[in-house]
Amino acid sequence: MRIHVTYAGGTIGMVDSPDGLRPGADLASWLDAQLDGIELSGQVSLSQLSPLVDSSETTPIHWQIIIDDVRSHVDSADAFIVLHGTDTMAYSSAALSYALADFEKPIVFTGSQYPLGVVGTDASANVTGALRAAGSPQVRGVTLFFGHTLLAGNRATKTSSWAFAGFDSPSTLPVARTGAPWQWYHGIEAGEGWAKPAPYTRHDVAVIDIVPGLSAERLRAMLTPAPEAVIIRAYGVGNIPASDPGIVDVLAGLRAQDIPLIVASQCYQSEVVLGHYEAGSALARLGAISAHDMTLEALYSKTIFLLSQEIRGDQFAQWMNRSIAGEVNLPTIA
C-alpha cells in the first residue's frame, strides 16, 4: 500500500511565535517517526503547499492546488491523505469530493487541534487513523478522519473549536469509529460523478443568515452589488420573515436577474422543505432551490464547483437536486 500525503497546512504543523501559532514544525521528520517500525514504513511520500496555509486563508485556488497534487501522484500511490487545518477542512473535503468524483483511489483528510509538538497532541492519533482508513478496503471517495471517527468528506462539519472529537456528520451516520477492530457503520454514498471537471475558480457567492428583525434595507445592502449566487441560511425547514414585503422584494429582485437563490437551514441537522409553512412558501414561489440536507460546507463548495463548470440557470437548479458525490440525500416523498 503506497500512500501519498499532501500537507496543506493547519495547526498540526504549527509552532508558537510572538504573533501566535504559525507553520514551522518539521512535519516530514515527525511523519517518518510515526511510520518507523510499522508496515507502511518506506511506503509514504509527502509533498507540501508552498506556502503552507492556515486553512482560514483557503480559497478555491488552494482546493485546485491540492487536487492537482493528488492527480499528479495517481500512478505512484494507492491512497491519499490531505493534512489540512480544521477551520475549513470540511469545505475542502467537500470540494475535492466533486472534482475527484471519478477518481478511483481513496482520499482521507485529517489535521489536529494541537500542534504535533505539544504533549498530549491529537496529531498522532489522527494521522495514524487516517493512514489506517486510507488502507482499508471499505474506504472510497473523499473522507475525513478526526477524533477516532471517519466521516464522508462531503457530509462533515466542524463542531468544536477545541474538542478532539471536532467533527460530525449531522445528517448521516459516521462511516466508521476506531477500536480493535474498527466499527463500520455506513457505506460511503456514490453520486452521479462528474467527467473531466474544469478547475476551481473563485466566484462571488453570498451566504446570509436570516435573524429576527433583519430589515429589507440591510438585506439589500448585503446583496449589493448582486453576487453570482446567494445562499440564504433560513430558519428550520427553510422559513424567512415572509410577511415583510421588503424582504421578499429584495429576493424577488435577485431572481428577476436569474441569480440562483439557494435556501439552507441554520439548524445543525436539517431537511429543507420549501412551502411546508406559509413563511417558506414565498421562497418556493420565487423559484428558490432547496439545499435539502446538505451541510453549509457541502453546499457552498458545490455552488463554487457548479459555477466553475459554467453551470447556470435551470441546469444549476437541477444539479442542486442531484448528487454528484453522495453529498445530498434527496427526499423520497413527493
Cβ 113 to ligand ASP shortest distance, Å? 6
Q: Which of 34, 86, 172, 290 binds ligand ASP (CB under 6 A)?
A: 86
Q: Verify binding: residue 243, ligand ASP, rule CB under 6 A.
A: no
Closer residue to ligand ASP, CB minimum distance, 296 or 306:
296
Per-residue burial over 207-240, b if 16 or more Cβ lie within 10 Å, else e, is bbebeeebebeebbeebeeebebbbbbbbbbbbb
Total site size for ligand ASP, rule CB under 6 A: 11
Q: Verify binding: residue 189, ligand ASP, rule CB under 6 A.
A: no
Closer residue to ligand ASP, CB minimum distance, 10 or 241:
10
Q: Which of 11, 92, 143, 323 binds ligand ASP (CB under 6 A)?
A: 11
- What stretches of 14-148 show up as alpha helix (H) in DSSP? 27-35, 60-72, 89-99, 123-134
Q: Verify binding: residue 110, ligand ASP, rule CB under 6 A.
A: no
Q: Verify binding: residue 111, ligand ASP, rule CB under 6 A.
A: yes
Cβ 294 to ligand ASP shortest distance, Å? 22
Closer residue to ligand ASP, CB minimum distance, 10 or 174:
10
Q: Verify binding: residue 13, ligand ASP, rule CB under 6 A.
A: no
Our answer to whether residue 11 is catalytic in this structure is: yes
If phi > 0 it is left, if psi is from -120 to 50 it is alpha, else beta; for residue 95 that is alpha
* 20 CB-near residues (< 8 Å, 6+ apart): none
Cβ atoms 154, 174 nearer than 8 A: no
Q: Which of 49, 54, 238, 306 binds ligand ASP (CB under 6 A)?
A: 54
Q: How far apart are CA 12 and CA 122, in angstroms?
A: 9
Q: Hey, what's the cell of 52?
A: 503552507
Omega of the bond leading into 212 within 30 degrees of 0 (cis): no
Q: Which of 3, 10, 234, 303 binds ligand ASP (CB under 6 A)?
A: 10
Active-site hit among 11, 58, 143, 157: 11
Q: How far apart are CA 16 and CA 116, in angstroms?
A: 12
Q: How far apart are CA 127 and CA 132, in angstroms?
A: 9
Q: Verify binding: residue 125, ligand ASP, rule CB under 6 A.
A: no
Q: Verify binding: residue 239, ligand ASP, rule CB under 6 A.
A: no
Q: Verify binding: residue 55, ligand ASP, rule CB under 6 A.
A: yes
DSSP, res 188: P
Q: Residue 204, Cβ neighbours under 10 Å: how many? A: 10
Candidates 29-37, 51-59, 132-140, 208-216: pick the segment binding ligand ASP (CB under 6 A). 51-59
* 307 CB-near residues (< 8 Å, 6+ apart): 201, 203, 205, 228, 229
Q: Verify binding: residue 32, ligand ASP, rule CB under 6 A.
A: no
The residues assigned a catalytic role are 11
Residues within the interface to ligand ASP (CB under 6 A): 9-11, 54-56, 85-87, 111, 113
